[in-house]
């Protein structure tokens, strides 16, 4: 179990390193083995790590060869050993043995369709610096949690747990009474809702694309 968090500002407003460090710190119990952040221009990505694969070299956030694509990721990619040889044959150069690195190379190769090739349990965020595009995705069965909230002015924040989002100064700690009613009726809160107003849960089998302020959420897989 790891924890991820991050945000992207609109209008090229520089990201505040202190904010992402505070967001990431709330997830310490999910990742006791290490932590890292990546802050560049309007984006900030954070990670708390539980080391399992490539203990020495798999620290996150992690990038591609030229640091133009970054990922922060919670989960395990079951078909990584099937995907890696083909990516290496097409010229992608790996610097770790971690399954995380396959995500950035697969995205480089296939764009937004990369998520359709993933077999695993995961919640992930990919930042495409040249396109100024943020991608969030959740596994087919929804084993790994992922929450997000739109920021005033067109930005977006995300995290493995709502408490990470609530550390962002532009997200209010306001209860959503409609979601409270859902909880009392269903005894749980169904996606895409959460108990906090403005905070949403990305549904399983869905991908969210933030593209310079516009947001699109699509389903990428349905059970046969």
Q: Which residues are catalytic?
A: 2
CB atoms within 10 A of CB 139: 23
CB atoms within 10 A of CB 116: 10
Classify residue 154 as exposed, middle or buried by CB count within 10 Å of its CB (0-12, 13-18, 19+).
middle
CB atoms within 10 A of CB 195: 14
Q: How far apart are CA 144 and CA 74, in angstroms?
A: 7
Helix, strand, coil percentages (3-state) for the chain, rounded to 5, are 25, 30, 45
């Amino acid at each position: 179990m790891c924890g991820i968090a991050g945000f992207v500002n609109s209008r090229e407003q520089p990201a505040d390193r202190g904010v992402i460090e505070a967001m990431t710190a709330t997830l310490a119990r999910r990742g006791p083995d290490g932590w890292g952040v990546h802050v560049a221009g309007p984006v900030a990505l954070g990670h708390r790590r539980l080391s399992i694969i490539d203990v020495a070299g798999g620290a996150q956030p992690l990038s591609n060869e030229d640091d133009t694509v970054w990922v922060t990721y919670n989960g395990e990619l079951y078909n990584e050993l099937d995907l890696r040889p083909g990516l290496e044959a097409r010229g992608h150069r790996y610097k770790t043995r971690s399954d995380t690195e396959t995500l950035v190379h697969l995205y480089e190769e296939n764009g937004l369709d990369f998520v359709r090739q993933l077999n695993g349990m995961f919640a992930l965020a990919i930042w495409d610096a040249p396109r100024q595009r943020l991608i969030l995705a959740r596994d087919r069965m929804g084993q790994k949690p992922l929450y997000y909230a739109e920021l005033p002015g067109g930005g977006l924040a995300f995290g493995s747990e709502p408490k990470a989002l609530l550390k962002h100064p532009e997200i209010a700690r306001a209860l959503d009474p409609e979601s409270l009613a859902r909880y009392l009726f269903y005894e749980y809160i169904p996606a895409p809702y959460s108990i906090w107003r403005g905070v949403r849960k990305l549904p399983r089998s869905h991908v969210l694309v933030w593209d310079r302020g516009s947001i699109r959420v699509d389903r990428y897989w349905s059970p046969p």
